[in-house]
Amino acid sequence: MAVDLGKMADLLIAGKVEDVSNMTQEAIDEGMNPKEILENGLIAGMDVVGQRFKACEMFIPEVLRSAKAMSSGMDKLRPLLSESDSRAAGSFVIGTVKGDLHDIGKNLVAMMFEGAGFKVVNLGIDLDTQVFVDAVKEHKPDLLGMSALLTTTMPRMGEVINALKEAGIRDQVKIMVGGAPVTEDFAQEIGADIYGANAASSVDKGREAVGK
């Protein structure tokens, strides 16, 4: 009997990590097309998760659990998918600026991006400007995210942008900023590309910015 991809999507929505992993393996063993498993099973499920989150029918812990189920399936599929089919939705480097120890908001943004299929590098907190510059050089991400929760540390985000300019790599990345005292106006003032008010809306904006 053929594996039911609709059921796989349902299991993913229900956050059944192990079941999704097992079912993906079954589908592979049955010789089902990996691309079809990805699109009609995993991605179809995640799309519903996204819709339900927006409709306030699913909540953060559930969304993150579904994302985990998704990646457990992806782990099985990746070796079988062509390079282009298995490519991440984009790559994202994120960190909290120097002098600022607020961690959890930035981590949630990282997790939600990961859930949306981005490859994410979370640099940590209290980071020197140079750490951001080096990370952009090393990882060549599509998006760089910076977090600041303090009025006193916000200006550091502008300093990072200037340092990226000086290093001649500002235009290689789209820059996103966020945190309680940060505003759309401030983001523009310092020359960032995107302001993210919260994790969910930031993911939408991030997706749009990398064109996927």
Partner 1 sequence: MESIMPDMQPMNQTVQETPQFRVLTEDQIEQIYFAALDVLERVGSRVHEDEALELFRNSNEAVVSDDKRVRVPASLVERALKSYPRKITLQGRNGKRSVALQKDHVYFGTGSDLPFTYDRKTGERRRTTYKDVTDAARIVDALPNFDFFMSHGIVSDVPNPQTYDRHQFMAMLEGCTKPMVVTSVDGEGLEDLWKMACLFQGGEEEFRLSPMFVAYIEPISPLTNDRSAVEKLLFAAEKGIPAMYTPCPSSGATAPATIAGMLVQSLAETLLAAVMCYLKKPGMPLIMGGVTTVMDMRTTTYSYGAPEMSLASAANTDISKWLNLLMFSTGGCSDSKWLDEQAAIESTLSLLTAFLSGANLVHDVGYIDSGVNASLESLVMNDEIIGMVRQVGKGIRTDEEGLALKVINEAGPGGEFVTRDHTYEHWRDWFLPRFMDRSDWETWNSEGCKTMSDRVNEETQRILDTYEPQPIDDATRKGLKEIIDAAEKRHSQ
Work out whether 196 is an interface residue with ligand B12 (CB under 6 A).
Answer: yes
CB of 195 to partner 1, least distance (A): 15
Work out whether 55 is an interface residue with partner 1 (CB under 8 A).
Answer: no
Work out whether 181 is an interface residue with partner 1 (CB under 8 A).
Answer: yes
Backbone torsions φ then ψ of 57, nearest 5 degrees: -100, -20
Q: Exposed e or buried b for every residue in 159-183, given b needs 16+ CB within 10 A?
A: ebbebbeeeeebeebbbbbbbeebe
Q: Which two tokens stand for residue 137?
A: 């050089």
* CB within 8 Å of 27: residues ≥ 6 apart: 3, 5, 8, 37, 41
Stretch binding ligand B12 (CB under 6 A), from 21-29, 33-41, 65-73, 176-184: 176-184
Work out whether 51 is an interface residue with partner 1 (CB under 8 A).
Answer: no
Backbone torsions φ then ψ of 42, nearest 5 degrees: -70, -55
Work out whether 33 is an interface residue with partner 1 (CB under 8 A).
Answer: no
Residue 56 interacts, among ligand B12, partner 1, none and using kind-specific CB cut-offs from 5 to 8 Å, with partner 1
Site residues (vs ligand B12, CB under 6 A): 94, 99-106, 108-109, 145-147, 149-152, 176-181, 196, 198-199, 202
